[in-house]
Amino acid sequence: MIQKIQQGFTLIETLIAVLILTTAITGPLTIASKGLTATLIAKDQISAFYLAQDAVEYVRFLRDSACLAAGAPVGGCAAEVWLSSLTACTSAGGGTACYFDSLAQNPATPATCAGDCPVMRYDTASHAFNYNGSATPTPQKFTRTVTINNDPSGPAPDEAILTVTVTWANLAGITHTAVVRENILRWQ
């Protein structure tokens, strides 16, 4: 009589199969995790640059509004007028920092930062960032600081360097910074 020998997996074969399976699963999961982290960082960077560009556009608006309100003739906005609504942000060395709400709600005009500028809030009703202190907006991780370096008695009195810095910390506590720098001119 012929006896059949049953063959099965040995312990070593089973361990090797589990190791291969684990390696095959770990690679894609690691890639997915890194992709998710990169997506979150990119989302924050995009938000920070939009907040910085929003501040640049608002400074241009205040500059132009000041000249128009003063009734400046074509080709001439007075030197003391063009940055008059931005005095909280303007200094000869660019050392005075300010913050403002581009929707002109709170603060209604640019305010000098006492120490660090406040953290922005996100209003879920209007879907806008601001500094409103009411219960609706939720504190965010973004802090926007605006400085304007203008020396009226210097070599370029009709030019100012606008710097907007947006800082935030991610969930790991790593601080990131987005800086937008632009020269603004007394063009009217």
Segments forming the whole domain that contains residue 123: 12-185
Task: Name the pLDDT band for 52 (thresholds 50, 70, 90).
Answer: very high
Specify the number of domains making up the chain: 1
Greater pLDDT, 29 or 124:
29
Residue 80 falls inside a structural domain:
yes
- pLDDT number for residue 46: 93
Greater pLDDT, 80 or 15:
15
Residue 3 falls inside a structural domain:
no
Task: Decide: residue 49, CB within 10 A, 0-12 exposed, 13-18 middle, 19+ buried.
Answer: middle
Model confidence pTM above 0.75: yes
Nearest to 45 by CA among 167, 186, 184: 167
Task: Decide: residue 87, CB within 10 A, 0-12 exposed, 13-18 middle, 19+ buried.
Answer: middle
- pLDDT number for residue 114: 81
Residue 4 falls inside a structural domain:
no
Residue 7 falls inside a structural domain:
no
Residue 179 falls inside a structural domain:
yes
Residue 107 falls inside a structural domain:
yes
- pLDDT number for residue 4: 67
pLDDT of 79 > 80? The answer is: no
Residue 23 falls inside a structural domain:
yes
Task: Name the pLDDT band for 139 (thresholds 50, 70, 90).
Answer: low
Tokens of 50: 């939009």
pLDDT of 62 > 60? The answer is: yes
Greater pLDDT, 135 or 168:
168
Contact 50, 31 (CB under 8 A): no
Greater pLDDT, 56 or 75:
56
Residue 2 falls inside a structural domain:
no
Q: Is 101 left (phi over 0), alpha (psi -120 to 50) or beta?
A: beta
The string of pLDDT tens digits covering residues 15-43 is 998 999 998 999 888 888 888 888 888 88
- pLDDT number for residue 144: 93
What torsion do the CA atoms of 27, 31, 32, 36 make, to the nearest 10 degrees? 150
